[in-house]
Structure 1
Amino acid sequence: MSRIHLLSPQLANQIAAGEVVERPASVVKELLENSLDAGATKIDVDVEQGGIKLIRLRDNGGGIEKGDLALALSRHATSKILQLEDLEAVASLGFRGEALASISSVARLTLTSRTKDQEAAWQVRAEGRDMEAVLEPAAHPRGTTVEVRDLFFNTPARRKFMKKDQTEFRHLEEVIKRMALSRFDVSFNLQHNGRRVQQLRPVDSEQARERRLASLLGGSFIEQAVHLDVSAEASGLRLWGWIGLPTYSRSQADQQYFFVNGRIIRDKVVTHAVRQAYSDVLFHGRHPAFVLYLELDPALVDVNVHPTKHEVRFRESRLVHDFIFRTLHRVIGDLRPKDAVPAGAGESAGDGAGAPSMAMQSSPGSVSGGGTFSQGRMPLYQSSGSYQSPGSYQSSGNYQPGQSPGNYGSYGGAAGSASAVRDQISAYADLHTPAAPAQGLQNVGRPGMPMPEDDAEKAPPLGYAIAQLHGVYVLAQNEVGLVLVDMHAAHERIVYERMKTAWDEDRVRSQPLLVPVSLSVSEREADLAEEQPELFERLGFRLERMGADTLTVREVPVSLAKADAPQLVRDVLADLVVFGSSRRIEESINELLGTMACHGAVRANRQLSIPEMNALLRDMEATERSGQCNHGRPTWTQLSMHELDKLFLRGQ
């Protein structure tokens, strides 16, 4: 090996460029951040050949002084931080001062700028290996224009890794989309090979923001999204934005945008919190769609942990995780059918304004143009003789308002006390047979509700039942049109939510192990278990530390006596290490409750009376997450009169 020596500035910049400049989209991202930090309200981007041949970005920001133009192309030159305290609370998008130096080392860069106090603009140029800035006067309005030509012209090895022009442009367009989502008050214009691709005007109202969202993510996203704005004054956190309904799920995580103080990030703590919030309502293998903004004190987040600034580190990660989870979990839980059926839709049914559907009927597992998951038939069709609940409903025809229709427990049977639920979970875990939980379920469902008077102002969102189709679907009529309900899926959710509520009303009961179980963990995990005994006690576990890396499990939850206790403890500790919190135990209990609810719910081919069907609809309107069953399948869908008229070509 040769002796130690200093790298030349040009080579050092090219090495740094490998971290900052990956493709044309990386260049655009860095330049956009500089423009936004300069206070620009209008940004024009013009590219050729996907950005490989030319990237020209013009803004109307504050501009750069003549004396600072050449310095701007030097490494670690920035106007955004001056001392260590500034780095500990970074409020700008850029701060390292590497972007322009890195870009100019692998491309031909021209920087033209003018401040409001200068009479004329000035221009500086730098090309690859020369790295000698040439300063000269130029004509330019207030603001800055950066022109990047022939990217990687002097590094052929990097240029060979470039994809086709259209592929590179798609990556570049995605960067523009993210920036446009982060700053609604800024105008963005994008041209590719002389053709205008995107023209976004600044917006300041919620309705205008939603129009921008629709133009960038598709109209179906905003039609099936819920707006939220929640603040926690004690911790100084604010979470706002839009989350897609659980039925608006995607096969890929391609519509997930999370911004922290205006900076788009991909963070495992955030991802975990969102996934947990949707865990009870998403079909397996599907991904939620969301555009969320988290605002907090810049001192509470470290943005200097990744070369491209895509990742951040929260100083109070557990606080952030719990805040995001609780907020989204509550918003999703508060969704009701009335939120999906537009008010007054009956009057506008003929003008072409159809109601947003909770699920679009098509082939199983398909995705429509907007990305809405479509449920096909549930694989639960079976004759009523294959499953018999102890409280099977026998139609008596003697239903009276305010009383239970026949034996209402066959429809509404759900445990009413925490102790009853615990006993049933234990029985289910011991026997591992589908019929076991149903045999002991307490038939304490609410009495059936009478049909209200036919008053449009009092008409419920899901309307009134009119028939049952093949013993599987309930057909109802509301102001909008026709409502189709999968009675098993809907009742499964109702029973499940009641069982969860009953379980949460009492503390988790533990039982000691006859033979304590020892498990080996890392020292860090053992420290966490020793520092947070109350967490495990609340979950029903009692742990003791027997050595530097050894724990002993002495008590486990009664409901999970047959489960793999050591593995559950390891999973909880792993979550604590990575995310600062864990819901493994709750999820295991919920999984058992969900299985019991599935087997305890009313089955296909069970004939229900009109009062029973109406009682089911009323319970759906009052139950959390009633739009999906425990497995994430939709429970109901809406067909408006306009959609029905189109099927039969009425009015054409």
Structure 2
Amino acid sequence: MSSVKDKLPLAAIAPLPEATVRLLAAGEVIDSPAAVVRELVENSLDAGADRIRVGLWPELWRVQIQDNGFGIEASELAMAAHAHATSKLRTLSDLWQLRTLGFRGEGLHSIAVVAQLEIVSATGASPTALRARYDHTGALQSLEAVAGAPGTVVTASELFDEQPVRRRFLADHKAQARLVAQLLQRYALAHPGHLFELAHDGRKVLQLPPAANLKQRILQILTQYDEHDLREVTLAHQSRSVRLVMGLPDRCSRARADWLQIYVNRRFVRHSELEQAVRTGFERTLRRGRHPLCIVQLELPAEEVDWNRHPAKLEVQLAATPQVAALVIAAIAEGLRHFAPKPSEGLLSAAEDWLPYRTGDQESGLLLRALIQMQRTYIVAEYPGGICLVEQHVAHERVLFEQLETSWELVAVDPPIAIDLSERQAANLREQGLAIEPFGARNWLVRSIPAALVERSDCLEALVELSRQEDSHEMRAALSCRTAIRNGTVLTPAQMQELLERWQRTKNPHTCPHGRPIYMPLTDGELARFFRRRWHICGS
């Protein structure tokens, strides 16, 4: 056993050297080339820039940002890289009214500590630009006049040159470049009207020109989708508003949650409660293991947002999280309703969204017309501009589910049904209103059942299945699935048409209650491309 004498003596408490303090503080802000890009792009945006170009030279550990912003006044360049020097904050009260991306005055100083920092800047009123170089304390080393256009070019060279351990532990250069590209895409989504470019060793690898709106910006990045795959929704309540672009669940789901993104006052944030609100909004519309495509942009009063929680400002505290989450869920519901037509309009007003053109606002009655049944499973239906395949079981399941959501009807049964259930299973049935009473150790008597199970030969098996469902949604989904038309059932033309008409009037016609897609459209345009036609049957 070691003795007190064996222990190493503790050094006396003493202040850290100033250079060490600067390096430790800088490490909190600048820990990678992507962090340099983050700080400098945010400075550019705060300076009013709408054209931002980023250059990376990974082998040289150099990062450069060029913008067309207001520029930095000559009198301010000397202070630009000082610690905690900023034009965005004057008093403590300003911290609760932030309208800029930056505010701490740490970005340029932290870059100067870990790199060779050079700034070339010109204001619109200046005939020339000024080039400033700084030492590792952030102090101005030199200042000279040079040729330059209005705006600012910031170059950070020899990044982490005096921190070889940091360099070794960073991801490889390709991974660092991917992180920068991802970062720029997020700024581009927050500012769709701006131009963003990324060059890698002088070769342009990302170019995002100004887009008309958020939806068009998404389509610039995710080129596999088109505008008919996305819905844009804007909602406001009191002083809060949300704009979101969501992918239709049957077309744009993702294997990862990489495109579930939250922006607060034009800044990307991680907020678990708001991310969960998005998942709640898409509940039961996606297949298991899939994630939504949903970009949420929130505009909130500055006094309701606390940014002073994380050096990268990725984390944020909101004063009204439950209300904001409710607004997000409502916007998603509105988007799904927009995709799902109102009962008076019919499903095929949504079919217009599958087409490369609009058919106008005139009322033309039911547009889906049943043609044939295929493999006793699919209804082949025609509409002006194409055809679609509708799986009969899941379409009927959706119809029945929404009926059960509207009217959960229970009927008494006499004699009661004896059933073997656990306490939990019995409680699940009781919570949904079924009359059930104990009749022995695990035996129960059920005295009322859902009306849909009356006179069904599998009533007992259905009750056991329902008893395993933990909530009302799951129970209604299970019941609608069990009682819907089975695949393999032959339908007459009249039965197919009736099912289509009932299905078209549902609130959510694109997936069954479990998230499976119900139909697959095939437009005339797609047929024309496949058969290499230059004219459309429906358009000439």
Do Structure 1 and Structure 2 share a fold, with TM-score over 0.5? yes
C-alpha distance in 1 between matches for 2:195 and 2:512: 42
Equivalent residue of 2:332, what SS? Answer: helix
Q: Residue 171 of structure 2 is aligned with which of 156, 159, 163?
A: 163
C-alpha distance in 2 between matches for 1:560 and 1:32: 64
The answer to whether the 8 A contact 1:122-1:137 is kept is: yes
What is aligned with 1:245?
248
Equivalent residue of 1:160, what SS? Answer: helix
**Which amino acid is 1:13 matched to?**
R
C-alpha distance in 1 between matches for 2:204 and 2:163: 30
CA 1:121 to 1:344, structure 2 compared with 1: closer, same or farther past 3 Å?
Answer: closer
Aligned length: 466
CA 1:295 to 1:348, structure 2 compared with 1: closer, same or farther past 3 Å?
Answer: closer
**C-alpha displacement at 1:628, in angstroms?**
0.4
Equivalent residue of 1:590, what SS? Answer: helix
What is aligned with 2:83?
75
C-alpha distance in 2 between matches for 1:460 and 1:193: 58
Q: Residue 64 of structure 1 is aligned with which of 53, 62, 72?
A: 72
The answer to whether the 8 A contact 1:465-1:475 is kept is: yes
Correspondence list, 1:204-603, <5 A: 205-206=212-213, 209-220=214-225, 222-232=227-237, 235-247=238-250, 248-336=252-340, 337-338=347-348, 340-342=350-352, 345=355, 458=364, 460-461=366-367, 463-503=368-408, 558=433, 588-603=471-486
C-alpha distance in 1 between matches for 2:189 and 2:481: 41
C-alpha distance in 2 between matches for 1:604 and 1:227: 35
**Which amino acid is 1:20 matched to?**
V
Render the CA deviation track for 1:548-576: whole Å, top value 9, x for unaligned.
xxxxxxx96646999xxxxxxxxxxxxxx
**Which amino acid is 2:29 matched to?**
V
Correspondence list, 1:81-230, <5 A: 81-128=89-136, 131-139=138-146, 140-203=148-211, 205-206=212-213, 209-220=214-225, 222-230=227-235
**C-alpha displacement at 1:299, in angstroms?**
0.7
**C-alpha displacement at 1:300, in angstroms?**
0.9
Equivalent residue of 2:289, what SS? Answer: coil
What is aligned with 1:31?
40
> When the two structures are superposed, what TM-score results if normalisation uses the length of structure 2?
0.80
C-alpha distance in 2 between matches for 1:647 and 1:25: 43
Render the CA deviation track for 1:424-444: whole Å, top value 9, x for unaligned.
xxxxxxxxxxxxxxxxxxxxx
The answer to whether the 8 A contact 1:305-1:312 is kept is: yes
The answer to whether the 8 A contact 2:356-2:525 is kept is: no
**Which amino acid is 2:217 matched to?**
R
C-alpha distance in 1 between matches for 2:295 and 2:301: 20
CA 1:559 to 1:166, structure 2 compared with 1: closer, same or farther past 3 Å?
Answer: farther
Render the CA deviation track for 1:69-101: whole Å, top value 9, x for unaligned.
232212211111111211012111011111111
C-alpha distance in 2 between matches for 1:39 and 1:348: 38
The answer to whether the 8 A contact 2:405-2:476 is kept is: yes
CA 1:312 to 1:560, structure 2 compared with 1: closer, same or farther past 3 Å?
Answer: farther
The answer to whether the 8 A contact 1:113-1:142 is kept is: yes
**C-alpha displacement at 1:118, in angstroms?**
4.2
The answer to whether the 8 A contact 2:377-2:488 is kept is: yes
What is aligned with 1:394?
none
**C-alpha displacement at 1:268, in angstroms?**
0.8
CA 1:6 to 1:71, structure 2 compared with 1: closer, same or farther past 3 Å?
Answer: farther
**Which amino acid is 1:137 matched to?**
E
**C-alpha displacement at 1:317, in angstroms?**
1.0
C-alpha distance in 2 between matches for 1:76 and 1:185: 31
Equivalent residue of 1:105, what SS? Answer: helix
The answer to whether the 8 A contact 2:233-2:334 is kept is: no
The answer to whether the 8 A contact 2:116-2:134 is kept is: yes
Equivalent residue of 2:142, what SS? Answer: strand
Equivalent residue of 2:97, what SS? Answer: coil
The answer to whether the 8 A contact 1:460-1:478 is kept is: no
C-alpha distance in 1 between matches for 2:530 and 2:275: 41
The answer to whether the 8 A contact 2:71-2:122 is kept is: yes
* Alignment RMSD (CA, Å): 2.8
Q: Relative to structure 2, which stretch is displaced further, 86-95 or 210-219? A: 210-219
**C-alpha displacement at 1:228, in angstroms?**
0.8
**C-alpha displacement at 1:35, in angstroms?**
0.6
C-alpha distance in 1 between matches for 2:382 and 2:432: 46
Q: Residue 17 of structure 1 is aligned with which of 13, 20, 26?
A: 26
**C-alpha displacement at 1:63, in angstroms?**
1.9
**Which amino acid is 1:266 matched to?**
R
C-alpha distance in 2 between matches for 1:112 and 1:347: 50
C-alpha distance in 1 between matches for 2:128 and 2:119: 14
**C-alpha displacement at 1:502, in angstroms?**
2.0
What is aligned with 1:618?
501
What is aligned with 1:512?
none
C-alpha distance in 1 between matches for 2:208 and 2:161: 32
Equivalent residue of 2:286, what SS? Answer: coil
Name stretches of at least 5 consecutive residues in structure 2 with no aligned partner. Answer: 1-9, 341-346, 410-426, 438-468, 536-540
Equivalent residue of 2:220, what SS? Answer: helix
**C-alpha displacement at 1:486, in angstroms?**
0.7
**Which amino acid is 1:246 matched to?**
P
CA 1:623 to 1:255, structure 2 compared with 1: closer, same or farther past 3 Å?
Answer: same
**Which amino acid is 2:220 matched to?**
S
Render the CA deviation track for 1:266-288: whole Å, top value 9, x for unaligned.
21121011000001211111000
**C-alpha displacement at 1:485, in angstroms?**
0.5
C-alpha distance in 2 between matches for 1:495 and 1:345: 29
**Which amino acid is 2:315 matched to?**
E
Render the CA deviation track for 1:278-327: whole Å, top value 9, x for unaligned.
01211111000022211121111112222211121110111111111122
Name stretches of at least 5 consecutive residues in structure 1 with no aligned partner. Answer: 350-455, 505-540, 542-554, 563-585
Equivalent residue of 2:117, what SS? Answer: strand
**Which amino acid is 1:126 matched to?**
Y
**C-alpha displacement at 1:642, in angstroms?**
4.1
C-alpha distance in 1 between matches for 2:152 and 2:291: 40
Render the CA deviation track for 1:604-632: whole Å, top value 9, x for unaligned.
11111212211211222211111001111
C-alpha distance in 1 between matches for 2:130 and 2:108: 17
The answer to whether the 8 A contact 2:84-2:106 is kept is: yes
Equivalent residue of 1:327, what SS? Answer: helix
C-alpha distance in 2 between matches for 1:56 and 1:273: 38
Which structure has more relative contact order (CA 8 Å, sep 6+)? It is: 1
> When the two structures are superposed, what TM-score results if normalisation uses the length of structure 1?
0.67
Q: Residue 54 of structure 2 is aligned with which of 45, 51, 72?
A: 45
Equivalent residue of 1:617, what SS? Answer: helix
Q: Residue 629 of structure 1 is aligned with which of 505, 512, 526?
A: 512
What is aligned with 2:451?
none
Render the CA deviation track for 1:364-417: whole Å, top value 9, x for unaligned.
xxxxxxxxxxxxxxxxxxxxxxxxxxxxxxxxxxxxxxxxxxxxxxxxxxxxxx
What is aligned with 1:524?
none
